[in-house]
Amino acid sequence: MTPEERSAEMRRRIMLRWVKKDPFRNTPGEAAIELVRHACSVGATVARICEVLDIPESKFKRFMLHPPFAAAVKAGRQIEHDALVNKLTELALGGSVTALIFALKSRHNYNDSGNGTATLVENKVSVNFVLPDALKPTEYLQTLVASAEVIAPGDAARALAKPGVKKAVIRQLVRAEGDNNAE
What integer pLDDT is reported at residue 78 of this predicted model? 93
- Closest by CA to 38, choosing from 18, 11, 20, is 11
Per the domain annotation, does 128 fall within a domain? no
Cα-to-chain-centroid distance, residue 57: 17
Residue 141 CB neighbours (<10 A): 10
What integer pLDDT is reported at residue 113 of this predicted model? 66
What integer pLDDT is reported at residue 26 of this predicted model? 64
**How many structural domains is the chain composed of?**
2
Per the domain annotation, does 26 fall within a domain? yes
What integer pLDDT is reported at residue 120 of this predicted model? 57
Per the domain annotation, does 83 fall within a domain? yes
Structural domain harbouring 32: 3-87
Which pTM value belongs to this model? 0.48
Per the domain annotation, does 81 fall within a domain? yes
Among residues 87, 119, 139, which one ends one of the domains?
A: 87
- Please report, in tens digits, the pLDDT of each residue of the chain (183 residues total): 788 888 777 776 666 555 444 444 567 777 778 888 988 999 889 998 888 777 889 888 888 888 888 999 999 999 998 998 889 889 888 988 888 888 888 777 777 766 655 555 566 677 777 776 777 878 877 777 666 667 777 777 777 777 776 667 666 666 666 665 655
